Amino acid sequence: PDPAALPGGGPETGLCSCSKFLTAGCLTTERPSQLREEAWRGFAALDDPLTGLLDMLEGSQAWQRKGPSLEAWVVCELHRWLQARPLPAPAQHSSRLQQLQARAVRVLARSPPSLVEPLVSIFQLQDADRSPLLTHIHQLHQEGKFKEAVMLGSRLKLQPALDVEKMCTPLLLQDRVSLVERYVAGFPDLQRRLLALLDSWCRPAPRGPRVGGVGRSPLHTGPRPLPCPELCAFSTALCPNAATQQRLAALRYLCYKRFVERSMSQENWVDHVQGLVGREEWPQEMVVRLLASPGNEAVAAQCALGLSVPEEQLPATVAAELRRLELQERVARVPLEDRKGDYYQLPIAREDIHFLASWEDLARHEEALLQPGQVVGVDVEWRPSFGTGGRPQASVMQLAVEGRVFLLDLPVLSRPAGGQVSKAFSRLVSRLLSDPSITKLGYGLAGDLRSLGASCPALAHVEKQLWGGLDLLRVHRQMRVVNMPAGGTYEARGLRGLSLLVQQVLGKPLDKTQQLSNWDRRPLSEGQLVYAAADAYCLLEVHQALSREPASFSLSEDLARSLQPGCSERPGAREPPRLQEASALPWQVPVAELEDAAPEVPARAFRVVCDNMLQGLARSLRCLGADVRVLGTNEDHRRAAEVARQEGRIILTSGLPYHKLRAQVGAGRCLWVDCSLKARQQAKAVLRHFNVRVTHADIFSRCQACNCDQYLKVSKDMMKQLVRLGSRPEGPSITGDEATQSEDIEEAGSAPEEAPGGCTYDPPCRWLEAADLRAGAPATLASGTRLQLAGVPEGVLRRPGLRHFYCCSGCGKVFWEGSHLCRVTSQFSRILSSASSSWKQS
C-alpha cells in the first residue's frame, strides 16, 4: 500500500505512517533484505521524504536512547536510498531548504553519533549557512549543554569559527579530556591555543606554597595538573609553566626521598637536584621555600647549602640556620643508617663483577654468557627522569650467571647504530634471549626488554625474540609464604616488588638506596656497581630456593614445573600491562616504585572507593562484580581515606592528593589511576595490579548504577502487567557520562536482532511476588524503590523466547537477556577465568 495514502498520511506525516507500516513488517519479516525492500518501496511513494523524516524524529524519543531503534534504522535506510536514487535537491539557500536545515540542526544536537553522517548528508548541512548553525551551538552552550555544543560543532566542522577556550574549558573541568582532544584534532592552531590555555593554568603562584611540617609528608603535594595528557608532547617554549611545574614536582619527590623517607644518599640527591635545577633561580628558591616550614629550618638550610642558593634569597630563619651550619663548619646531614647487615648481601667477590664497555670485553666473556643449559638473571637500570623529559634511556644491562655478574655499558655498546660494537652487542643479546636451553630470569622481564629495545634501535623488537624466559613477578603473585608475617608488616617497612620477594624467600630485603641514582654517570660509583650486581644475582638465588622447596611457598604444580630449567615460558607469555606509573606523567608527583606483588582476590571480595572523577571506572568494576563505592560531588579526598579505613576498602584516585591518601591508609591500599585511559582500560589495569580473579559468574552480579548485589526475577507476564498498570513517563535521556563511558552499547541504526540463543544468565535470586509490591503502587517495591519501567522498550516485551526480566532491589533498574554480556565477555576475555551466561542491561 501507499503509505502516503494511509489515514493521516500526507507530505508531513507519510514517513510516520511508513514507520508504523514497517513496524508490522519487523514482526513478520525474517530476512533484513526483505525489510529493506519494503522500506525502499515506502520511501519511493512519499511526496516529501525529508519533511516526513523530521516529523518522525521530532515526534519520538526512542531513537535517542541506548540501543537500536526503528527510527534510527529508517534514517540510515533513507540515506542509502537517497544515495542510490537521488531526488532533485532543493535550491541552495532557498527558504524551504533553510527551514529544513534549521529543524535538522535541532534534531542533530540530540542524535547518537551513528546518525550524524546520515543526517548531515541528507539535509546538506555541510553546505548550509553557518550563521544559524553557530547561533544554535552558542545557545546550547548558554543552556549548559557543553558536550552537545562541542559535539555538534565537531560534526559540522565549525571549530575554527568557535572560541576554543570557551568551548573546551567546561569540558576540561568535567574531566572529559577525550572529547576535547577529538574537538581540536586536525586543527594545529587550535591545539596550540589550547596548550597555551592549559599552560596558563600551571602558572606558579607569586609566593611559595605554605606547607605543614615534614612529619606529615607535605612534599608529596603535587602541582596543579595539566589535564590533557595526549596533547602534552610539548616543548619548553610552548608550555614554560608546565615544564616548571614538572621540575617542581620532581624536586618535591626528591626532597621527600632524601629528608623524609631517608632512602636516598646525599650524593645521589645533589646529583639529581642539580641536574633538574641547573642555574634557574626561581626553582632553587622554590625548593627552599617548600621546606621552610616552622620547625624545619635545618632541613631547608641543608637543601640551600646543597643548591648554593644565595643567603639573601632565603627566609630569615633559614638564613640564620645556614650561617650557624657554616660557622660550625659542618653540614647537619640526615644520615642514612648503615645497616648493611639487615639487607641481602652479594655472595660473590668484588672481582667477579665485570663491567663490559668494548668489543674486546664482549668477545672475552661471550662463551660464559652463552653457556647452554645455564640460568641467567637479567635486569636493566636507567637514570630516572622524574617525569621531566621523554622516556628514560636504559644505561646498564645486568646479566648474572653462577658466580659472576656482567654489567653491560649500554650507551657505549649500542652506539653508533650499525657500528662494529653495536652489531656485536645486539648479536650477543639476541643469541642469549633466543636460546631455549638458557633460562632467563627477570622480575617484570617484559618491561625491562621493552626499555632495552627503546634504547637500542638494533633491539627494537627484542621481547619477541625471548624463548625460555621466566618472570619471577608472575611467580611472586601466586606464591603463598608459610609462617611469614602478614603483608602489611612488609608494606609498613616500605618493602615491595623484588625487594619484598627477596625478603620472603631469602630472609633479607634488597637495599634499594642506589635505585634512583644517576646511572648515566661514568664511571659508576662502587655503590652502584654492587647494587646493580645484587639486583641481578638475587634472581638466581631466589630461583634456586623456590626450585628446592616449592611446597613451602604453596606454588601450584604448573608453576613449580616452570621453575625447572627447560620448562620456562615461551614467547607470547608476556607480563600483563601495568597501570601507568605517576613517574611517567609530567604533571603528576613522580612515584618511582615497582608494582607490588598481591595475593589473588576474588572479584566479589574486591572492595574499593573511587573519587568522583572515576565514575566510568566504577561502573566497569561493578559490571565485573567488584564492590565499588563512589564519592559524592561534594565529598573531598579526606572522606575517601575515612571510608577506606572504616570499610576496609582500597582507594582509587585520579586526583593530586595521592601521596597524602597513601600515607593515611598505608602502601598498597591506594592507587593512582590515569584519567586519560578509557574506563575499560582502567578496569583491566586495576584488576591486574591487585591480582583480582574475575569469573563469568561475576559479570553483572552487581548493579552498575547503585552497587547493589540483590536482584529480583520478574516473569514476562508480570512485567507486562507492571508496564501496563504503572505510569510510563518519559525516561531520562542518557547522560553525557553514560554516553562516553559505556562503550558496549548497541549501535543505533542497526537492524533489530534477536537475543542470542546460547546459555542464559541466571543469578541466584528469588522471584518477584505481589507481596513485594506496595498496594496501590504496582511499580514500587515495598522498600520504596520504584522500578524503572520507562527503560524497557515495548518491542522487548513482545520478543519471542524472552522468558523473564531482572530488577535491582536497590535502584529499580530493569535488565533482560540479550547480547550485552557477550560483548563484555569479549572485552575482558583475557582476565576471565571461567565461562558463564549472557544477559543485557537496559
CATH number for 656: 3.40.50
The whole-model pTM stands at 0.47
**When comparing pLDDT for 302 and 225, which is higher?**
302
Q: In this structure, is residue 26 part of a structural domain? A: no
pLDDT tens digits, residue range 406-454? 999 999 998 888 888 999 999 999 999 989 889 999 999 988 998 898 8
DSSP 729-756: PPPPPPPHHHHHH---SPPTTSPP-PPP
CA angle 816, 61, 793 (to 5 degrees): 20
Q: In this structure, is residue 582 part of a structural domain? A: no
Q: In this structure, is residue 526 part of a structural domain? A: yes
| Residue 693 · residue 833 · CB < 8 Å | yes
- pLDDT value for 484: 52
- pLDDT value for 680: 87
Say which range, 342-346, 710-714, 755-759, has the weakest mean pLDDT: 755-759
Question: Based on the domain organization, do 617 and 513 belong to the same domain?
Answer: no
* Cis amide bond preceding 523, omega within 30: yes
Question: Based on the domain organization, do 403 and 462 belong to the same domain?
Answer: yes
Range of the domain at 740: 710-830
Question: Based on the domain organization, do 254 and 145 belong to the same domain?
Answer: no
Q: Three-state SS across 665-717?
A: HCCCCEEECCCCCCHHHHHHHHHHHCCEEECHHHCCCCCCCCCCCCEEEEEHH
Classify burial at 460, counting beta carbons within 10 Å of its beta carbon; exposed 0-12, middle 13-18, buried 19 or more: middle
Question: Based on the domain organization, do 644 and 734 belong to the same domain?
Answer: no
Q: In this structure, is residue 580 part of a structural domain? A: no
Question: Based on the domain organization, do 381 and 515 belong to the same domain?
Answer: yes
CA 611 – CA 633 distance, rounded (Å): 9
Q: In this structure, is residue 789 part of a structural domain? A: yes
Question: Based on the domain organization, do 663 and 532 belong to the same domain?
Answer: no
Count the domains in the chain: 5
Domain final residue pick, 233, 250, 284? 233
Q: In this structure, is residue 815 part of a structural domain? A: yes
Question: Based on the domain organization, do 760 and 781 belong to the same domain?
Answer: yes
pLDDT tens digits, residue range 546-556? 888 887 787 76
Question: Based on the domain organization, do 635 and 776 belong to the same domain?
Answer: no
Pairing assessment for the beta strands 711-715 and 766-767 based on DSSP bridges? parallel
Question: Based on the domain organization, do 64 and 184 belong to the same domain?
Answer: yes
Q: In this structure, is residue 837 part of a structural domain? A: no
CA dihedral 103, 109, 112, 113 (to 10 degrees): 110
- pLDDT value for 104: 83
- pLDDT value for 20: 52
Domain final residue pick, 293, 328, 363? 328
CA 683 – CA 182 distance, rounded (Å): 23
Question: Based on the domain organization, do 363 and 408 belong to the same domain?
Answer: yes
Question: Based on the domain organization, do 65 and 158 belong to the same domain?
Answer: yes
16: confidence class by pLDDT, cuts 50, 70, 90: low
* The three three-digit cell numbers of residue 217, written as one number: 609528608
**When comparing pLDDT for 124 and 467, which is higher?**
467
**When comparing pLDDT for 360 and 575, which is higher?**
360
Residue 642 has pLDDT above 50, yes or no: yes
* Cis amide bond preceding 416, omega within 30: yes
| Residue 838 · residue 820 · CB < 8 Å | yes
CA 343 – CA 512 distance, rounded (Å): 9
* The three three-digit cell numbers of residue 595, written as one number: 608494582
Looking up residue 523, the CATH number of its domain turns out to be: 3.30.420.10
Residue 67 has pLDDT above 60, yes or no: yes
Q: In this structure, is residue 836 part of a structural domain? A: no
Question: Based on the domain organization, do 685 and 714 belong to the same domain?
Answer: no
Q: Which residues pair with 781 in a beta bridge?
A: 773
Mapped onto helix, strand or coil, the DSSP state of residue 728 is coil
- pLDDT value for 439: 92
Strand (E) or helix (H) holding 767: strand 766-767
Name residues whose C-beta falls within 8 Å of residue 84's C-beta, 6 or more positions apart in sequence: none
Strand ranges for 554-669 from DSSP E:
601-602, 607-610, 627-630, 650-653
Q: Which of 466, 438, 435 is nearest to 373 (CA)?
A: 438
Q: Which of 73, 151, 81, 157 is nearest to 110 (CA)?
A: 151
